[in-house]
Amino acid sequence: MACEFNLNFLKELEREAVLEVLYRDQMVRKTEEERIRKLKLQLQQLRWKGARNVNHEYQERSCARCQKSLGLLMNRGAVCNGCSHRVCSECRVCLNPCLWKCTVCYAHGDVKVKAGEWFFEERAKKYPGEAKGCRLTIRLLCGLWICDHGNFKTANILCFLTLGISHLQELGQSKSFNKSVENLVLSLTTHIKKISKSQNDMADRRLLTTDYGQNVERRKQRRSQSDTAINITSRVSILLYNITSSPTSDAVFCDGRKHGSLYSLNSTCTESGNFGKANVTGEIEFAIRYIFKACILEICIKGCKNLAYGEEKKKKCNPYVKVYLLPDKSPRSKRKTAVKKSTVDPEFDETLKYKIEYSQLGSRQLQISVWHAGALKYRVFLGEVVIPLAAWNFEENSMQLFNWYQLKPKQHLKPSAELTNWLFHMINAPVSGKKDPGVPNCQLQVMIFGAKNLPMLRSAGMPNSFVKGCLILPDQAEVKRKSPVLKKEAFPQWKHLFVFDGVTPPQLQQSCLHLTVWDKSSFSSSDQFLGGAKLGAEESLGSADPVPPSVLQWQEVLRSPNTWMDFTLVLHSNKENFKS
Amino acid sequence: MTDGDYDYLIKLLALGDSGVGKTTFLYRYTDNKFNPKFITTVGIDFREKRVVYNSRGPNGSPGKAFKVHLQLWDTAGQERFRSLTTAFFRDAMGFLLMFDLTSQQSFLNVRNWMSQLQANAYCENPDIVLIGNKADLSDQREVNERQAKDLADKYGIPYFETSAATGQNVEKAVDMLLDLIMKRMEQCVDKTQVSDTANGGSSGKLDSAKPEEKKCAC
Ligand SMILES: Nc1nc2c(ncn2[C@@H]2O[C@H](COP(=O)(O)OP(=O)(O)OP(=O)(O)O)[C@@H](O)[C@H]2O)c(=O)[nH]1
Ligand SMILES: [Mg+2]
Ligand SMILES: [Zn+2]
Ligand SMILES: [Zn+2]
């Protein structure tokens, strides 16, 4: 099927107008979904009322719905055609003179009508396979996004895009469709990051959690209130939100290239796709430092020598250097030097900068690559150096000096299993009832989005994965949480919220959070461990070892009220190290 | 503005040539106001209104009252938006097919709109109301009532002459469409309520309770 609309006929302002409408529509849909959810819940409760009665049925004859006892001769009840339960005359609803149903069966039908299922059923006859939700909206969104070259501008649009996420999962059918959706999500997460970076307020957390039901007005309100809100409850909020592209999503981008504008998002993949290759020779000279005061990572690129010719036959070489702060491969992470003309020993003398928290560096790698810029858009890879920053001592002066590094061929980094898109949120909110003004209780919320590159344990297929969260308090008490199981997904997206409350900030200082991913076994055997990640205080302190990133990240989280931060949590495979 | 305190969400959609008065009509319906300015609709839009629908029993006796949340989709009549607007047909439960009583051409195009509907609506014979708008401009009238009625009869759909300027028949036309949809819904539902019965139950677990009870229905 055509995966998205061609909306090129719309002018820019028209596209925004359409988006605005789609956004409002999404609000309507959201309200509707919530309403239906409540209806179904009520129905469930009604059923339960009856179900409890089932046990009694052998001992006494009673109405399955209201539990009133029924006589043997008088008022003996009748069996409902819908559910085959015996019910009293009061628990019946007449549909027509010769048909009645018990209250539950009737309610079941009623919910179906009120949820508009008749419409979806009718439509499914004409369009089999049509998803119930806002498939159209997403298709349009993709279409709009493509004609907009991945540039959404207004805040409205951003909110809207976020609303869209909640529906992306229903779109599992078409491969090609998924790809554009995935591209969209990537672009939108990038945008969300931008706003959350720039605004650092509570409203943005709402943007990212599953509660997409707010409207723009409310968002604005919240924004203006957020300052006072923070003062009153002294909230601390942390966002761990990471956009990392896996090899699979690279493939997505390569495929997406036919859409014209998509590849601008991720040039690393287009490079390896249809770009030229040269033999890799030569060296590059650069220095790396971290400016602690300003939280800026600087890469000073001096120059290169003995580069290979980008176009060997023509003896042509116009080199430039490109840097990514992996694992982020989005354009946001890209920095480039100027192109030097006709030289294999270029001097750049340029400083490329990233604004990044120190605590995040541990999970990052610098990918510094050299390229030849040929005619038109022809690019040739000339070599690269990858520096894992975890091992880099930024406090050591000697590490800040210029150094020569041998250029290497493209490295195919083995992807490590990762917990993706984790959203951490902690609220310092006084809990009513407890009077301890000095130390307010707070709540730690951890939004689990998903994981990727999980190890394959089964010979047949994908894991049925779930996450356990275990908060280990200073007194070794453990607070445990568990997510639902997601069946057969290589890239599970749980979107589940762990809430740990009743803890105090000083307690958290010395606490440790263990997050583990498991493969649910289908039989009685125990669940398989897929990997784990830690955040927080180490049990064994006092050694001379450098402080691990997980500790720094945790401290950063506690120290920085109202800032969104992102970390990548790499999953480790040593099961013994984790409590679950 | 949308809270979930309603019983049904009903989605209607207005279609017809550009300038026949779709936007103005809907504005009259939701806000009871008239806008004499022509601002052509870009692609799509919608308005909302909460109404109470009184169902009627089989013998015309008053039934229950339901709160209905109406989502009224407005589409651009301009050809260049066609691919976008027709995509929205599929999501609507009923249609307000409009033409301009002062424009013969807009009336002739009703046939085209009908075939667009047949192709793109959720089913082959959706609920439609034919609306001849701008009835207040009687001196400029190009389509007579007989013509329009005949066409509506041919399609088996109701016909109304309305004016967004005076408000004439605006509410009536929408009410009629809503009524058609609610009736259709009841039919669909009766069918499922009955067929649920035929299949011997819908509420899962409870079925297994006591099979022998089934036989001794009184
Ligand atoms: N006198 C009179 N004018 C009307 C009536 N309905 C609409 N108009 C006018 O007709 C013009 C077009 O109305 P719109 O509602 O914008 O037309 P539309 O069908 O939405 O057009 P598109 O959005 O381009 O598809 C406006 O100037 C309206 O004021 C009516 O009942 N009487
Ligand atoms: Mg209009
Ligand atoms: Zn009863
Ligand atoms: Zn029943």
For every residue of A249-303, which 3-state class applies, written as one string? Answer: HHHHHHHHHHHCCHHHHCHHHHHHHHCEECCCCCEEEEEEEEECCCCEEEEEEEE
Count how many Cα atoms sit within 13 Å of the Cα of residue A52 in the half-sphere of its side chain: 8
Q: Distance between CA atoms of B102 and B141, rounded to whole angstroms?
A: 4
DSSP state of A572: B
Q: Are A363 and A568 a contacting pair, CB within 8 Å?
A: yes
Please, what is the Cα angle at A429 between A425 and A430, to 5 degrees?
A: 160
> So what's the pLDDT on residue B25?
97
Q: If you average pLDDT over each of A96-100, A209-213, A278-282, B181-185, which comes out highest? A: B181-185
Taking the CA atoms of A355, A534, A239 and A510 in sequence, report the sign of the dihedral they define. negative
Residue A439 phi/psi, 5-degree rounding, is -120, 100
- DSSP-based three-state secondary structure for A386: strand
> So what's the pLDDT on residue A129?
62
Please tell me which of the candidates B123, B196, B207 has its beta carbon nearest to residue A122.
B123
The ligand that comes nearest to the alpha carbon of residue A91 is: 3
pLDDT above 50: residue A576: yes
Please tell me which of the candidates A7, A38, A122 has its beta carbon nearest to residue B84.
A7
Q: Which residues of A touch B46 (CB under 8 A)?
A: 21, 24-25
Q: Distance between CA atoms of A360 and A327, rounded to whole angstroms?
A: 11
What is the tens place of the pLDDT at every residue in A297-318? 999 999 999 998 888 888 889 9
Nearest CA to ligand 1 atom 8: B21
What is the tens place of the pLDDT at every residue in A468-516? 988 888 888 888 888 888 887 777 777 777 777 777 777 777 888 888 8
> So what's the pLDDT on residue B113?
96
State pTM to two decimals: 0.53
> So what's the pLDDT on residue A423?
44
Pocket of ligand 1 (CB under 6 A): B 18-24, 35-41, 76-78, 133-134, 136-137, 163-165
Q: Mark yes or no for CB contact A113/B189 under 8 Å.
A: yes
Token pair 């050591």 is found at: A396
Q: Which residues of A touch B43 (CB under 8 A)?
A: 10, 14, 17-18, 21
What is the tens place of the pLDDT at every residue in B9-29? 999 999 999 999 999 999 999
CA distance B137 to chain A (A): 32
Please tell me which of the candidates B3, B42, B44 has its beta carbon nearest to residue A31.
B3
Complex ipTM? 0.87
DSSP state of A523: S
Residue A347 phi/psi, 5-degree rounding, is -115, 125
What average pLDDT is seen over chain A? 67
**One-letter amino acid of A84:** S
Q: Distance between CA atoms of A272 and A257, rounded to whole angstroms?
A: 13
- The CA R_g of chain B, rounded to the nearest whole Å, is 21
Interface test with A, best of B7, B69, B190, B206 (most A CBs within 10 A): B206
What is the tens place of the pLDDT at every residue in A77-120? 888 887 778 888 888 888 777 788 888 888 888 888 888 888 98
Domains with residue ranges and CATH for chain B:
8-196 (3.40.50.300)
CA distance A193 to chain B (A): 29
Contact with chain A for residue B79, Cβ under 8 A: no
> So what's the pLDDT on residue A481?
87
Q: Mark yes or no for CB contact A21/B197 under 8 Å.
A: no
